[in-house]
């Protein structure tokens, strides 16, 4: 039996370790920094660095690294050893306060969207004391923010921390109005559920598309897919179970609270959900989780696919971002209360979210946009590309009666007058769970379900935090000036419901009628990345983020540029990989097969001239027709790519060109190739089939 409590966090420089190893004053200084984000006094930093180093060396570490999250979507690190030369050719192990607090790195190879060019090539990493340092691969990892010389954020962590700060400020204003003087800090909490596929390494190695792009670009549908619904929550196969146990342990050591693991809807698809944490730490842990999912898989001769749509025709993978706001006194502000007073406060926070999601639907959509996620949204397996909120029937009925000033009948049919003073007890458990909603209230938190499986959670939370901060700012300003607080509160809630109820939708999001209905309601439907990205730089959105100092206009324009360029790059790699696979693997295979058939026909003819050869001839004709089709499609895709690669194309026009011209050309090529896969002898087909990949792990 393993001692899990002892194992948990054993590689983390957490509060307990700090309390043991730091002087009382240094420990308190670090705690204060954690609470209010102020920088540490240099002498304290020196003490912390020294304690960290001693602890890390005892655990076998020889190196340290500032660990950061550039705009590539994955993490970056540059290792330095602790060694420092002394007289006589000896070394000692050293780590200074300065090295802990600030690092310098060449930023020129990371995407900066033009920000760096305007300033200088150097980038700086700054210790984020709110997230614990940890040891991995004999290296001390120090979570850091990454910015340019001028202080512009070049990463995903900085804006997240800024947005948490913005929200904190506005929530505290609102809480004062409700008399909560004891709350000094609130934090957003996030619990991301992560979906992934596991396939055999040997299969993976034979698929250039998986290696280059993370998804299959060719592949005929298997005869069995997920239609029997026999995988979801099904018994976990022993190789997968061994992987999950191993993954749990590795993550526990790093203090990641992985909790739930089960099979998902598609064959070979699984899910891991950690227990929620402060948004910033959850984002760091999510990065670690994705990295370790891949690493641990390699040890089991498996490959973990985090792509949003590795296989056409079976469900893709997403990430559910469970989100709430918590006070330092331990209260979840999205938990409906037991008293009318508590519920009035709950309703105000609920309204803040409703207003935020309605006003910034475009930004929420953009925050989860990627080439990979375009395959999921609206494909009857993930939420549609239209953003809406699910509240459940009961909560919606309560809001309706509030809006209309009518009586609300609880389930027990006890008639109550609904005013802010006499709110009924709220349903604490939304039993009517809705899986098709992009943004669902699930009892005491919201679940934003549009995220792609491979994306870091920072961006969507930046948008949520900032948009909700903006709602609360408006509310606080209005209520702070009110003479009759309760009257003003009731009026405000009614007004917000009236203005923003169009965003509430409790029905089936997969239903086509909803697309029509959403249009009538004036909600945005932005099906692809190229459609939604321009929203990123709309004046209203720039104004929002500038107001709360989460992004400057320059930072937003740079990010817009990075996203557009990145989209084009992904499409470019996919299209080229297709061309190469078709040309070098598929065409030779089908020609060989055609030749085999032709030879068989000739041989049979020579042996018995009158023998009817219907099977061979039909097959050869079909193969020949599709081969010609394949060749035409291949030439067409090549031509499109030549146009896409013309120099100096406007990034948005290029993204639209990929959407409108290149993707349809890729689809046509795939259709011909998949048709051939169904005809050609298995031993000649150059890649493992969908069936091989999806059902090989036992
Ligand atoms: P389901 O699959 O039904 O959505 P899970 O239990 O798999 O539910 O996941 C729910 C997730 O929500 C978990 O990661 C959980 O820790 C997280 N969660 C619960 N409460 C909160 C909260 N207050 N804030 C953020 N996340 C939360
Ligand atoms: Mg969920």
**94-112: pLDDT as tens digits:** 999 999 999 988 777 788 8
Judge whether residue 697 has pLDDT over 60: yes
Ligand 1 site, residue 435, Cβ cutoff 6 A: no
| The pair of three-digit structure tokens given for residue 538, joined into one six-digit string | 């709309």
Q: Where in the sequence of the chain do the CATH 3.30.590.10 domains occur? A: 164-551
Confidence at residue 698, expressed as pLDDT on a 0 to 100 scale = 78
**In a mutational test of the pocket of ligand 1, which residue from 191, 282, 332 has the highest number of ligand atoms less than 8 Å from its CB?**
191
Q: What are phi and psi of 271, to 5 degrees?
A: -140, 145
DSSP 153-201: B-BSHHHHHHHHHHHHHHHHHHHHHTT-TT---EEEEEEEEEEEEEEEH
pLDDT digits (tens, 9 = 90+) for 142-184: 999 999 888 899 999 999 999 999 999 999 999 999 999 999 9
Q: How far apart are CA 241 and CA 150, in angstroms?
A: 48
Q: How far apart are CA 373 and CA 382, in angstroms?
A: 10
4-155 CATH fold: Ubiquitin-like (UB roll) (3.10.20)
Q: Using DSSP bridges, classify how beta strands 277-278 and 408-409 pair: parallel, antiparallel or unpaired.
A: unpaired
Q: What are phi and psi of 148, to 5 degrees?
A: -85, 175
Q: How far is the CA of 195 from the centre of ligand 1 (A)?
A: 14
Whole-angstrom CA distances from 199 to 27, 249, 382, 692 are: 46, 21, 22, 9
Domain 164-551 has CATH 3.40.50.2000: no
| The pair of three-digit structure tokens given for residue 682, joined into one six-digit string | 């298995």
Residue minimizing CA distance to atom 7 of ligand 1: 273
Q: Where in the sequence of the chain do the CATH 3.10.20.70 domains occur? A: 4-155
Ligand 1 site, residue 275, Cβ cutoff 6 A: yes
pLDDT digits (tens, 9 = 90+) for 293-303: 999 999 999 99
> 1.10.8.50, 1.10.10.10, 3.40.190.10, 1.20.120.1560: which CATH number matches 566-694?
1.20.120.1560
pLDDT digits (tens, 9 = 90+) for 491-520: 999 999 999 999 999 999 888 899 999 999
Q: How far apart are CA 218 and CA 408, in angstroms?
A: 55
**In a mutational test of the pocket of ligand 1, which residue from 256, 258, 276 has the highest number of ligand atoms less than 8 Å from its CB?**
276
State what percent of residues in the chain have pLDDT above 70. Answer: 94
pLDDT band for position 417 (cuts 50, 70, 90): very low
pLDDT digits (tens, 9 = 90+) for 591-623: 999 999 999 999 999 999 999 988 999 999 999
Judge whether residue 411 has pLDDT over 60: no
Whole-angstrom CA distances from 175 to 184, 423, 476, 500 are: 10, 19, 9, 23
Contact status, residue 457 vs residue 466, Cβ threshold 8 Å: no
Q: How far is the CA of 230 from the centre of ligand 2 (A)?
A: 19
Mean pLDDT for the stretch of residues 559-576:
96
| The pair of three-digit structure tokens given for residue 108, joined into one six-digit string | 């020129």
User: pTM of this prediction?
Assistant: 0.94
Mean pLDDT for the stretch of residues 57-71:
96
Tokens 């903006």 correspond to what residue? 470
Ligand 1 site, residue 319, Cβ cutoff 6 A: no
Confidence at residue 235, expressed as pLDDT on a 0 to 100 scale = 79
Reduced to 3 states (helix: H, G, I; strand: E, B; else coil), residue 19 is helix
Ligand 1 site, residue 238, Cβ cutoff 6 A: no
pLDDT digits (tens, 9 = 90+) for 187-198: 999 999 999 999
Confidence at residue 158, expressed as pLDDT on a 0 to 100 scale = 96
Q: How far apart are CA 176 and CA 166, in angstroms?
A: 16
Beta strands in 381-471 (DSSP E): 389-390, 408-409, 415-416, 439-441, 446-452
φ/ψ region of 273 (left if φ > 0, alpha if ψ in -120 to 50, else beta) reads beta
Is the alpha carbon torsion for 295, 297, 301, 303 positive or negative? negative
Judge whether residue 275 has pLDDT over 80: yes
Q: How far apart are CA 456 and CA 75, in angstroms?
A: 10
Beta strands in 264-405 (DSSP E): 269-274, 277-278, 302-305, 318-327, 389-390
Judge whether residue 32 has pLDDT over 80: yes
pLDDT band for position 416 (cuts 50, 70, 90): very low
Confidence at residue 187, expressed as pLDDT on a 0 to 100 scale = 95
Q: How far apart are CA 168 and CA 677, in angstroms?
A: 56
Q: How far is the CA of 463 from the centre of ligand 2 (A)?
A: 20
Say what the alpha-carbon torsion angle 131, 132, 137, 140 is, to the nearest 10 degrees.
110
Judge whether residue 268 has pLDDT over 90: yes
pLDDT digits (tens, 9 = 90+) for 201-257: 999 999 999 999 999 999 998 877 676 667 777 778 899 999 999 999 999 999 999
Ligand 1 site, residue 190, Cβ cutoff 6 A: yes
Q: How far apart are CA 651 and CA 563, in angstroms?
A: 10
Q: How far apart are CA 154 and CA 117, in angstroms?
A: 12
Confidence at residue 427, expressed as pLDDT on a 0 to 100 scale = 58
φ/ψ region of 73 (left if φ > 0, alpha if ψ in -120 to 50, else beta) reads left
Q: What are phi and psi of 552, to 5 degrees?
A: -85, 165
**In a mutational test of the pocket of ligand 1, which residue from 188, 190, 273, 448 has the highest number of ligand atoms less than 8 Å from its CB?**
273
Return mean pLDDT, the chain: 92
* 653 vs 343, more confident: 653
Q: How far apart are CA 30 and CA 18, in angstroms?
A: 9
Mean pLDDT for the stretch of residues 411-419:
42
Q: How far is the CA of 468 from the centre of ligand 2 (A)?
A: 21
Residue minimizing CA distance to atom 17 of ligand 1: 191
Ligand 1 site, residue 197, Cβ cutoff 6 A: no
Confidence at residue 413, expressed as pLDDT on a 0 to 100 scale = 37
Q: Where in the sequence of the chain do the CATH 1.20.120.1560 domains occur? A: 566-694
Say what the alpha-carbon torsion angle 650, 654, 660, 666 is, to the nearest 10 degrees.
170
Gap between the terminal Cα atoms of the chain? 25
* Ligand number, closest to the Cα atom of 335: 1
Q: How far is the CA of 284 from the centre of ligand 1 (A)?
A: 17
Beta strands in 240-317 (DSSP E): 258-263, 269-274, 277-278, 302-305
Residue minimizing CA distance to atom 19 of ligand 1: 276
Whole-angstrom CA distances from 682 to 82, 175, 212, 622 are: 55, 67, 24, 16
Mean pLDDT for the stretch of residues 355-359:
98
| The pair of three-digit structure tokens given for residue 403, joined into one six-digit string | 């809006």
Confidence at residue 572, expressed as pLDDT on a 0 to 100 scale = 97
**For the ranges 40-49, 352-361, 571-580, which has the lowest average pLDDT?**
40-49
Ligand 1 site, residue 458, Cβ cutoff 6 A: no
pLDDT band for position 345 (cuts 50, 70, 90): very high
Whole-angstrom CA distances from 376 to 315, 382, 671 are: 8, 6, 19
């Amino acid at each position: 039996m393993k001692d899990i409590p002892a194992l948990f966090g054993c590689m983390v420089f957490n509060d307990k370790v700090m309390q043991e190893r730091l002087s009382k004053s240094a420990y308190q200084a670090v705690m204060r920094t954690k609470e209010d984000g102020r920088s540490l006094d240099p002498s304290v930093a020196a003490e912390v660095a020294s304690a960290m180093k001693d602890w890390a060396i005892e655990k076998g570490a020889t190196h340290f690294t500032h660990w950061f999250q550039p705009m590539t979507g994955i993490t970056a690190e540059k290792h330095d050893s602790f060694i420092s030369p002394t007289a006589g050719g000896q070394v000692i192990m050293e780590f200074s306060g300065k090295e802990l607090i600030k690092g310098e790195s060449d930023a020129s190879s990371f995407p900066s969207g033009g920000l760096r060019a305007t300033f200088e090539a150097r980038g700086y990493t700054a210790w984020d004391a709110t997230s614990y340092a940890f040891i991995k691969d004999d290296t001390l990892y120090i979570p850091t923010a990454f910015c340019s010389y001028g202080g512009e954020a070049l990463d995903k962590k900085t804006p997240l921390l800024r947005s948490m700060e913005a929200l904190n400020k506005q929530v505290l204003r609102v809480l004062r109005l409700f008399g909560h003087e004891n709350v000094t800090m609130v934090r957003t909490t996030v619990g991301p559920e992560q979906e992934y596929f596991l396939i055999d390494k040997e299969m993976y190695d034979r698929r250039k598309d998986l290696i280059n792009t993370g998804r299959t670009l060719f592949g005929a549908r298997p005869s069995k897919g997920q239609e029997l619904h026999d995988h979801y929550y099904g018994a976990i196969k022993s190789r997968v179970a061994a992987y999950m146990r191993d993954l749990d342990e590795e993550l526990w050591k790093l203090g990641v609270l992985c909790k739930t693991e089960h099979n998902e809807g598609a064959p070979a698809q699984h899910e891991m959900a950690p227990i929620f944490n402060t948004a910033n730490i959850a984002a760091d842990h999510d990065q670690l989780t994705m990295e370790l999912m891949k690493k641990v898989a390699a040890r089991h001769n498996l490959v973990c696919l985090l792509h949003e749509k590795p296989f056409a025709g079976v469900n893709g993978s997403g990430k559910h971002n469970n989100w709430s706001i918590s006070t330092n006194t331990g209260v979840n502000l999205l938990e409906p209360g037991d008293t009318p007073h508590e519920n009035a406060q709950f309703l105000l926070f609920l309204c803040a979210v409703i207003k935020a999601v309605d006003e910034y639907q475009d930004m929420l959509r953009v925050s989860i946009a990627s080439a990979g996620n375009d395959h999921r949204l609206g494909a009857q397996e993930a939420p549609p590309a239209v953003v809406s909120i699910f509240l459940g029937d009961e909560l919606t009925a309560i809001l309706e009666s509030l809006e209309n000033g009518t009586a609300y009948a609880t389930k027990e049919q006890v008639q109550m007058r609904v005013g802010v003073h006499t709110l009924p007890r709220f349903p604490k458990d939304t039993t009517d769970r809705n899986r098709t909603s992009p943004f669902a209230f699930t009892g005491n938190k919201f679940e934003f379900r549009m995220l792609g499986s491979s994306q870091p959670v920072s961006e969507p939370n930046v948008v949520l935090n900032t948009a909700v901060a903006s709602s609360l700012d408006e509310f606080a300003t209005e209520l702070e000036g009110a003479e009759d607080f309760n009257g003003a509160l009731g009026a405000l809630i009614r007004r917000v419901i009236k203005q923003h109820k169009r965003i509430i939708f409790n029905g089936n999001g997969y239903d086509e009628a909803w697309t029509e209905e959403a249009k009538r309601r004036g909600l945005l439907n932005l099906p692809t990345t190229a459609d939604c990205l321009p929203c990123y730089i709309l004046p209203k959105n720039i104004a929002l983020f500038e107001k709360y100092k989460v992004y400057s206009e320059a930072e937003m324009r740079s990010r817009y540029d990075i996203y557009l360029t990145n989209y084009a790059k992904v499409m470019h790699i996919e299209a080229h990989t297709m061309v190469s696979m078709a040309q070098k693997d598929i065409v030779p295979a089908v020609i060989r097969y055609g030749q085999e058939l032709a030879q068989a026909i000739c041989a049979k003819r020579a042996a018995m001239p009158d023998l009817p050869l219907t099977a061979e001839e039909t097959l050869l004709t079909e193969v020949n027709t599709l081969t010609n089709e394949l060749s035409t499609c291949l030439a067409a895709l090549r031509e499109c790519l030549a146009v896409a690669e013309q120099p100096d194309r406007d990034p948005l026009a290029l993204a639209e060109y990929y959407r409108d011209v290149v993707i349809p050309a890729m689809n046509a090529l795939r259709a011909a190739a998949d048709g051939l896969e169904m005809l050609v002898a298995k031993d000649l087909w150059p890649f493992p089939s969908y069936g091989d990949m999806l059902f090989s792990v036992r």
